[in-house]
Structure 1
Amino acid sequence: MYDKLARGYASQYLRRLPDHKQVDRFGASQKRKDAVYCFAECALSKKPGRTLKRMAPRVGPLFRHGHVVYWDKTGKCFSAQAITCAKDTVVSPAGRADESLYEEKSAFLTDFVISIDSDDGQSYLATYANMGHHAIARFLERDLATPETIGRATRTTLNIVRNLSLAVDQSPRHWGSYSFLIPFGEGGLPAVSMAAAVAPGQPQRHIISVRTYLDENMLSEADMQRMEGFEDAMSRLDEPGGRDRMNDWIAKNIRPWDLRAKAGSEAPGMDCS
């Protein structure tokens, strides 16, 4: 797709998303309390039964794709997701939240999780993944998605990055900004850990952000080797030795990154377009 047309469709898609401020409003709302209370009632049952049907109107329309994470004798857990847009995402190097580098329009993935274990319960909102306008436009320009499928492609991408972000959080601690190269389709997703605020003056969130998409012709043999083993490590994470396998992949793939040096590039935070 022609690049200017792709950017236009990317902007159109982001305009259709709910404003990310709705997530913060939901977090402080009576609706969130009602959702927690409803799930507590559902958790009294031995089986999930009608849980998803009962929870849908209590978390929607902002949060969708609700699912039961687990439901057994040890506890119960429900999760739903919201994909939202922040028009003025303020990007900073991880660990230096007061140092603004640039602003961009982008999509965020936020989980709403409710869990009840034994007599204890909790609920929380967590934002782990982000995808900038530039990356969404590249998906369209490089024919990874169409205007009709860009929503599904974005959600799939954000979930992959969310899972990586959770794995990185549980790996030996890496401070500062780092880059990753994640296999996707026939190519790869350059991504960077960063601090991002949904608007100037708002709290920073530490996330992993997809910066662009590179097709297979843009990747070297070293890039392919760097990405190798991701799907296997991620799919076997809960098996014996799975955490060590994932940590080994992260150690092989991760690279230190100076976002300040790249802030003026076509794809901010990346050395490639």
Structure 2
Amino acid sequence: MTSAQQSQVGALVREWRTRRRLSQLDLALRTGVSSRHVSFVETGRTRPSRQMLLRLAEELEIPLRERNHLLLGGGFAPVYPERSLDAPELAPVRDAVRQVLTGHSPYPAVAVDRHFNAVETNRAARWLLTEGVAADLLEPPVNTLRCSLHPRGFAPRVANLGEWRAHLLGRLRRQVHVTGDEQLGALYTELRELPCTQEEPEVELPGPGDVVVPLRLRHEDRELSFFTTLAVIGTPLDVTAAEIMIESFFPADAATARFLQEFHLPLE
């Protein structure tokens, strides 16, 4: 490894340590080395081994994609494969995602990649969440956050748009902080500039009876209320698998549940 490479990998370690708000001593204690050694790694005075970089990445909770970048910066080959979701090796992942989405019907659910582009949706999501959305926003890759907040998306149907927008942008901002992903940062900037006629709360506070932030969506002559959950692959060893998230919409009140259970989804 050249001195330039050592400086590069040291800068990456320092960047992730700072992002995680850890001191050199904190990181040293977690990895079982001296704070002097961590300092030498960060300043490029010592060359970390492949195993040490992997230990540092694990303790810093660096995403698999960025762990590969860290290894490359240290002069080592990446260890985590990045396959297309259509690859034969990821067939079990595809099948599991589809099983979750199908099993969630009649409620909406969508699987997204690291940039919140839809990779799979169930029938309920395609029926409910694309209503009134401009055709160009539905051209692949369909970004679910853009569709949610864009004035030509389903934002005009969201009764509590200010509250829902603040929630989504806050979640995206935290994701940018956790991953350091520049494309996510650009998406946050884009969405932040979209117009909103409702007041956005600076801090999420519950309304009367609220236990979660609801999505109150107008549909025909009624208002449907949802809360959402996010699920990820629990033990990923592939970059693509690690970045898939499944967002499931659950009815937040009995009327919404009853409507969706009794309504027959249109055939595709």
| TM-score bracket relative to the smaller structure | under 0.3
> Larger Rg: 1 or 2?
2
Decide which structure has greater strand share. 1
TM-score (norm 2): 0.27
TM-score (norm 1): 0.26
Decide which structure has greater helix share. 2
